[in-house]
Amino acid sequence: MTVPSDIDDDEEDAPLLSELRPAHIRSPSSSTLPFYQTRSRRIITLIIFAIIFIMAFGGCLMAVPSIRLYEDIICHHFYNGLEGEEHIGFEEGIEEGLCKRDEVQEQMNILFAGLQFLGALPSLITAVPYGLLADRIGRRPVLVLSMIGIFLANLWSLAVMWFWRHIPVRMLWLTPVFLLIGGGETVGSMLFYAIGSDVTPQAKRANVFLIGGGMPLFAEIVAPSLAAVLMARSPWIPLIMGLSGFLVGPCLLIFVPETLHLRPRQTESATLTPDTASERSVSTSDETDQQSFFTTITKQASNSLKEAYGSLSVLHSLPILLLLIPFLMQPLIAQSVALSIRYVSNRFHWKLRQASFLLSLRAFINFALLLALLPGLSWYLIKRLHFSPTEKDLFLVRFSVIVLVLGALLIGISPTIVGTIIGMIIFTLGTGTSALTRSLITSLVDQEHVGRLYAAIGLVETCGSLAAGPMLAGLYTLGLQLQGPWVGLPFLAVAVICSVGGVGIWGFGCLNRKFPRERVPSREEEEEDETTLLVLPDLVEGGVISVV
C-alpha cells in the first residue's frame, strides 16, 4: 500500500478517502488545539498504534469465550427441551463435553452462518458515505463513531448472553445493525490508514502501515492464550476485559488532533503544520460546496457504480481473469480459521479454551511468515537465483497455493489432533497468497487502470464473503450428519476451492511461460518491493477472529 514516487506534492497532500475536500473549512492554528493534543507525528503515530493493538486485543479476548457461551446457551435450550433422564433445566450446569452433540453444533452453524453473512453488509452499505463524511468533517469524529458502533455491537452480544433466558439467541443477528453506526471495522481500518497517511511523510509511510497492520497479529499472538487461562475461572472475565478495551480506544483518541488539515513538514522536523492547500479549492469545489451532503453521497454512489461497471473493462484480458479466480478463495480461507476452533473442539473433544491456544500458534507463524520467511525468500530468489519480480511473485504464490491445499486436506482427513495441528501450521504458511496475487495481477495493467482492477478484485472478494459463511456452515452440518471422517468436509471443500484458485495461477503461468528478462532491481527497489508485501497483513486474513 505504498504511494507511487511520481506523485507530486499537491497530490500527496490530498485526502486519502476522497478528493472532495470543502474549501470553506480552514486549517486549525496551533492556538486552537487543546493543551492535551499534540502536533508531534511520532506521538500521534504511537497513539494510533496503541489504539489498534488495544482494540484488536479486546476482540481476540472476546472471540473464544463468546463461542463458548453461545454454545452453552444453545446447549441449555436443547437439554431443557428433552424429557426423561436427559432433561437438564436452565438452572443446572452442563459440562462442555455434553454440548458437542450434533444437534447443538448444527444450531451453532446456523447461528454463525447468519451472523457472518449479515456482518458483511454494513461495510458494503456505509463505506462510501462515511468516507465522504471523513473528508468533510474530519477523521476523528467518524473514527469515534466507528468505535462507538463496534462497542455497541459487542455490548449487544454480551446482553444476549447475559439475558439468554429471555432473549432468543438468534437475536445475535441484530449485531450488524449497530455496525451501521460508523461502518464497523472496515471503516475504522480505513480511517486509521487515512490518519497515518495524513501525518507521515511519503518516505516513511510504508513502514508506518507495516507496523500498524502488524498490531492485530501481535494481539492475536497474546490474547487467545490469555483468554484461555482466564476462561478456566470464568468466560465472563475475558469478555468484560475485552469490552473494556473497546472503551479505551475512544479515550486515547482524545489526545490526537484532527489530522485532516495537518501535514508533516517537508524538513526533518517531526512536527505537523496546517495544510495551506486545504484552504484552496479543488477543481470541483465550487460545485461541491453548493451541494448538500446527501446529494454528494448520491453522486458519489453513482460514480462508484460507474467505476464498478468500468472495472469490467479489465476483464477482457484472459491472464487477469485467471488471476481473479484466487481472490474467491480468500474469504473462505479467513472464515475456515474461525471454524477450525469449533472443529478441533468437537472432533477431538477439546475444550474451547484449550483449542484457543491454536489461534496464538497460528498468529505467531503468520507473523514470522510475513516478517521473515516471505521477505527472505523474495530476497533469495531475486538476488541469488536472479528471478525477475514477476517470476518471483509467481513462484511464491504457487508455493502458497500448494501449502494451502495440503494444509486444508490434512486438517480435513487427519484422524489425530497432532496431524490436524500440523495441517493448521502448513495451512498458515499459505496465507500470503492474497498479497502475492495482488502484486502479480497489478503488474498486468497500466497505472491508470489500477483503480478499475482493484474494484474488480473487491467485487470478487465481496461475492466470496457473502457465500463463504453459509457454505462452510452447510458443509459442516452435512459432515456432522454423515459423521465419521466426513466431519472434516468443509476443509476438504476449502482444499478443492484453493485447487481451483491454483488452476487460475498455473493457467496464468502457462500463458506467460516466456517472461521478458527484467533487470535485477536495485537495493532501494528491493526494499520497496519487500515492504509492499509486508504492509498487507490485515489483508492476508491475519486479523482478529471475532463473532461480531
Question: What pTM was estimated for this model as a whole?
Answer: 0.76
Grid cell at residue 110? 446456523
Q: How far is 405 from 23, CA to CA, in rounded Å?
A: 53
Structural domain including 501 reads 306-543
399 lies in some domain: yes
Query: If you write DSSP's letter for every residue of 218-263 in order, what string do you get?
Result: HHHHHHHHHHHHHHTT-THHHHHHHHHHHHHHHHHGGGSPP-TTEE
270 lies in some domain: yes
> Do 319 and 263 reside in the same domain of the chain?
no
> Do 456 and 530 reside in the same domain of the chain?
yes
Query: If you write DSSP's letter for every residue of 129-185 in order, what string do you get?
Result: HHHHHHHHH-HHHHHHHHHHHHHHHHHHHHHHHHTTTTS-GGGGGGHHHHHTTTTHH
SS3 for 40-61 is EHHHHHHHHHHHHHHHHHHHHH
> Do 260 and 347 reside in the same domain of the chain?
no
Residues 127 and 187 sit within 8 Å (Cβ to Cβ): yes
- Total number of domains in the chain: 2
Q: How far is 256 from 250, CA to CA, in rounded Å?
A: 10
Tens-digit pLDDT profile for residues 289-328: 445 556 665 665 566 555 555 555 556 778 888 999 999 8
21 lies in some domain: no
Q: How far is 205 from 197, CA to CA, in rounded Å?
A: 7
> Do 534 and 416 reside in the same domain of the chain?
yes
> Do 174 and 83 reside in the same domain of the chain?
yes
Which candidate, 245, 473, 238, places its Cα nearest to that of 353? 238
Tens-digit pLDDT profile for residues 380-436: 998 999 888 888 889 999 999 999 999 999 999 999 999 999 999 999 999 888 888
> Do 431 and 379 reside in the same domain of the chain?
yes
> Do 271 and 310 reside in the same domain of the chain?
no
29 lies in some domain: no
Tens-digit pLDDT profile for residues 260-300: 776 665 544 455 555 544 444 444 444 444 455 566 656 65
The number of helices, as runs of H, and strands, as runs of E, in the chain is 22, 2
Residues 456 and 314 sit within 8 Å (Cβ to Cβ): yes
Residues 70 and 173 sit within 8 Å (Cβ to Cβ): no
CATH number at residue 115: 1.20.1250.20
> Do 323 and 450 reside in the same domain of the chain?
yes
**Residue 115, SS3?**
helix
DSSP 548: -
Residue type, 382: I
The pLDDT score that the predictor gives to residue 297 is 57
249 lies in some domain: yes
522 lies in some domain: yes
Listed range (47-51, 88-92, 269-273) with the worst mean pLDDT: 269-273
> Do 216 and 149 reside in the same domain of the chain?
yes
25 lies in some domain: no
> Do 179 and 327 reside in the same domain of the chain?
no
Mean pLDDT rounded to a whole number for the chain: 79
**What is the percent of the chain where pLDDT is above 90?**
36
> Do 174 and 90 reside in the same domain of the chain?
yes
